[in-house]
Chains A and B, each alone.
Chain A
Amino acid sequence: MELVTPGFGLFIWTLITFLLLVFILGKFAWKPILNSVKEREKNIEEALYAAEKARQEMQNLTNENEKLLKEARSERDAILKEARELKEKILSDAKEAAKIQGEKLLSEARKQIENEKMAAINELKNQVASLSIEIAEKILQKELEDSKKHEEFASSIINKVMIN
């Protein structure tokens, strides 16, 4: 019976001590600890959230980059294609132009050559004519040295003219 009869002294001392303990520790120990634990938990939560967000953003950025790259590549391809086409066109145009020009030049040259040739022929004709005249002169002079022959010649010419 002694064992289960609570003693007043210990009862009162326990109450006082424990209440003081709850009050003091609650205010100066547990509360600061729990507050900083809470703070830390919040920070961790936030950090995790931020990391997740950053990861998402990174993903987005990568996707965007990829898209941009793809676009750039296709644009480059388009430009290249265009350039190639342009080059072909220019080349063919140039070829055409060159051909025409060449032909023009050629025909001109040919005309020139023809002209030159005609001029040369004319000159040659003239030359030949003058030479012939000279020669004829010389021959005539020689022939006319004797009058008979001269007369003969003259008459032959007259004849010729008269016949004509």
Chain B
Amino acid sequence: MKIARKPGKLLILFSLLLAAPFTVRSFYSSANSLDTTDPHITQNTEEQEENINDLIMHHIADSHDFHILDWKDHSISIPLPVILYTKEGLVTFMSNAFHHDDHGRVVVEKGSQRFVKYHEKIYYASEKADSHGSFVNKGDDGAILNDKPIDISITKNVFSLFLTALLVVFIAFKSASNYKTNSRAPKGFASFIEPILVFIRDEIALQNIGEKYYERFVPYLITLFFFIWIANMLGLMPVFPGGANLSGNIAFTMSLALLTLILMIFNASGDFWKHTFWMPGVPVPMKLLLAPIELIGIFTKPFALMIRLFANMTAGHIVILSLIGLIFIFKSVAVAPASILLTLFIYLIKVFISLLQAYIFTLLSALFIGQTMATHEHDDHH
């Protein structure tokens, strides 16, 4: 018991040491910098809470530069390339051209076009600045009226995406290299990866898609699993190069869910379409009623996939950041130990959820594909 308790204590101590300077300083200075940049915000508690709310949303959202930490009121971040598809073609520049401005005050001129960044979105700049020095025009309801170029920048999340892809490639080729020389039991890295591959093949693909077609989907499912898992884990990493909320971004989950939808539709059996549009074995009025429901059903499945991963990962990030944020809402260091212990607890759960969500996404993808591919031999009994 004594030995078992000791590493636990050490772990808590270590995480306190590790977490405290980073998160607290970052929060504190970010909060400060928000205060200084936005003159409307005063130091009363409600505003402070709103402040932290903004901050959490800011941490979850995508960003054009990779913020590492704030040091003595100076933000240290890695600039990332901005790629815009504008009215005059492709325009590229580094994000540090905005000088950390996120309120549309700094204008970047490229050729005849002028750009500003406002809340991590890039707009064509207005001719004149408003009373706050911002080059964006807002309507009465606060909506921004400026046009936007198509933004395909390498943002923080895209950077994280590439990193994820690189890691997956590394894992795949590292384990594949083992099989070139070794035809016996897997060794080293491959012995960790192989059970996962075999599990996905046998328990996910084979079980849900069926013996006849499952093999062609195995590479997709394996890539999907590792891609989501690594993306989730990178998102959990508190410092550079992790920390981007990639798998908690709806664009990311949407594109993966879309691929599953495409696979579902293009591999669907004739039987499936028949069941969708003209359900056998029910009266004609019911057939007419069921057709739209079944049709919507095709889309709700991948939609659920998209929302599930997005919501799980985002919620985890929000919970962790909120627990840290408690310290600033209560304005007391005394809250820190409880808050950090809770954070650690959630963090460990998140490590598990990272794996679980990757598994669920893969499993459900296989299940949905399997459902549309299935041919029914019991039509008459419907």
Contact = CB atoms under 8 A, between A and B. Distances in A.
Chain A partners chain B:
yes
Contacts of B155: 7, 9-10
B11 interface: no
Interface residues of A, number: 35
B152 A28 contact: no
B223 A22 contact: yes
A49 interface: no
Given A8-B152, A25-B223, A18 B60 contact: no
B183 A21 contact: no
A22 B219 contact: yes
B258 A15 contact: yes
B223 A39 contact: no
A159 interface: no
Interface in A89-148: none
A40 B220 contact: no
Interface string B245-282: 00001111011101100000000000000000000000
B314 interface: yes
A33 B162 CA distance: 23
B254 A6 contact: yes
Contact of B179 (A6, A9, A10, A36): A36
B76 interface: no
Interface in B178-237: 179-180, 183-185, 190, 193-194, 197-198, 201, 218-220, 222-223, 227
A129 B252 CA distance: 163
A24 B168 CA distance: 11
Interface string A2-19: 111111111111110111
Contacts of B249: 6-7, 10
A37 interface: yes
B364 interface: no
A31 interface: yes
B289 interface: no
Given A2-B61, A7-B249, A8-B150, A33 B179 contact: yes
A30 B201 CA distance: 11
Contacts of B309: none
B296 interface: no
B165 A29 contact: no
Interface in B126-173: 150-155, 157-158, 161-162, 165, 168-169, 172-173
B244 to A, nearest CB: 10
A34 interface: yes
Nearest to A40: B183
Contacts of A9: 83, 150-153, 155, 158, 251
B62 A18 contact: no
B354 interface: no
B59 to A, nearest CB: 12
A10 B252 contact: yes
A3 B245 CA distance: 11
A32 B176 contact: yes
Given A7-B151, A33-B190, A33-B197, A13 B168 contact: no
B343 interface: no
Contact of B251 (A8, A17, A33, A36): A8
A14 B151 contact: no
A32 B57 CA distance: 43
B219 A26 contact: yes
A9 B150 CA distance: 8
B175 interface: yes
A21 B250 contact: no
Nearest to B215: A34
Contacts of A10: 62, 155, 157-158, 161, 249, 251-252
Interface string B308-349: 001000100000000000000000000000000000000000
A17 B250 contact: no
Contacts of A26: 219-220, 223
A110 to B, nearest CB: 99
Interface string A30-50: 111110110110010000000
B172 A39 contact: no
Contact of B227 (A11, A18, A31, A32): A18
Interface in B30-85: 57, 60-62, 83
Nearest to A14: B255
Contacts of A5: 250
Which of A5, A6, A9, A26 gathers the greatest number of chain B CB atoms within 10 Å? A9
26 contacts: A3-B57, A3-B60, A4-B310, A6-B254, A8-B251, A9-B150, A9-B153, A9-B155, A10-B155, A10-B161, A10-B251, A13-B158, A14-B251, A18-B259, A20-B165, A21-B168, A21-B169, A22-B219, A25-B172, A26-B219, A26-B220, A32-B179, A33-B175, A33-B194, A37-B198, A43-B183
